[in-house]
Amino acid sequence: MTLDLSRTAIAERLADSERLTRIAPTAFDAAEQALTPGGLRGAAVLVPIVWHHARPSVLLTLRAAGLSAHAGQVAFPGGRIEAGETAEAAALREAAEEVGLDPRLPQVAGHLPEHLTGTGFRVTPVVAFLDPPLTLTPDPGEVAAIFELPLAIVLDPAAPERRRRELHGRMREFWVWPHPEHLIWGATAAMLVTLARVLRE
């Protein structure tokens, strides 16, 4: 599926508060929130749209196998929001630390609705445009690989698959996106579903 989406059109969709409210994800339930000691912690991720002229794509990372949390999973660059930081500043800082992205390069287009996770985070996805070519240097302690998912796949309503399995003693449903090498699931997949809905609506 392809849509005639310019950068301006994407930014307009991200600025439409009614659209964002209507599409806000519900990937986190009250029972899980009640089990989170100390409440939710703020975090932010950068959702980079690499603006290849003929085929824009979304940049993703594969987390290093040695990490204590979410090792070997596909993720957006990101992490906790430090004291005094905005979500945008945190996303840009984390992207610089994880993949060596110059924080002056991303052109922030807007934010997706917050994503609440079962691990106790309130995540703000910050959408930004990047113009190729890019020179990225992943931190090997955090990132095993950098790859891209074509925006055309993200915009295809038939692309993501809903799966179900037992996680931590509970049956859970989650999204999975097709990719020949990497399993894109969990919070990252859910945020991609939200991005697709915001851009398609």
- 139-193 pLDDT, tens digit each: 999 999 999 999 999 999 999 999 988 776 777 788 999 999 999 998 999 999 9
| Angle ∠(14,53,175) on CA atoms, nearest 5 | 50
CB 117 within 8 A of CB 142: no
pLDDT at residue number 121: 87
Strands (E), the chain: 41-50, 57-63, 74-75, 78-80, 107-111, 115-116, 121-130, 143-150, 161-167, 170-177, 184-185
pLDDT at residue number 27: 44
Residues of the chain under the 70 pLDDT cut = 1-4, 25-38, 65-72, 168
- What is the DSSP pairing of strand 74-75 with strand 57-63? antiparallel
Q: Is 43 exposed, middle or buried (0-12, 13-18, 19+ CB in 10 A)?
A: buried
CA-to-CA distance for 77 and 74, rounded, in angstroms? 10
Write down the mean pLDDT value for the chain.
Answer: 87
All domains in the chain, ordered by first residue: 7-200 (3.90.79.10)
pLDDT at residue number 1: 44
CA-to-CA distance for 201 and 14, rounded, in angstroms? 11
The reported pTM is 0.89
Alpha-carbon torsion (94, 97, 101, 105), positive or negative: positive
CA-to-CA distance for 130 and 28, rounded, in angstroms? 30
CB 175 within 8 A of CB 189: yes
